[in-house]
A = this chain, B = another copy of it.
């Protein structure tokens, strides 16, 4: 942040405001304080005839790798609406029966990842603007070595573990980067 979005001043200071305990961008001219907060990524692990809907990313980062339909939740929608919207935007697929499945913290990038178990009742899907391909995969056909993000592996693992047990439950956990920037997943 280089300029105050309220008054246009270029004298932005990065400091702890009075009565606060965190660094914020502050404008000494108009006293505006600019807060930044974590963002929610909402999406679906959606099945049709036991196969999982996945999308090959047409955008960076990780263009060309496979992911679950998910993206930034927008203002004035519910998490469920965001997950269904992303599933439609990325795979033109209509999801139903959404149930909360995983709530994972990604504190190193200030994101919270909220995934719903869902059904695509008509089995219809095709590439949205952010996808190169869409496909419903059986477990053994999932492109495990070519997934977009570690949280996608984790979500698929949780799903198939639950399915084998015959009981789906809600999962929470955290994706951490250690000092060597290796990724570590902790299930709470």
Contacts and interface: CB of A to CB of B under 8 A. Distances in A.
Interface residues of A, number: 41
A185 interface: no
A88 B103 CA distance: 23
A107 interface: yes
A76 interface: yes
Interface of A: 1-8, 10, 19, 22, 34-40, 72-81, 100, 103, 105, 107-108, 110, 112, 114, 129, 170, 172, 174, 188
A113 to B, nearest CB: 11
Contacts of A78: 105, 107, 174
Given A38-B73, A77-B107, 11 more contacts: A1-B5, A3-B5, A5-B5, A8-B8, A37-B75, A38-B75, A75-B110, A76-B110, A100-B103, A100-B172, A103-B103
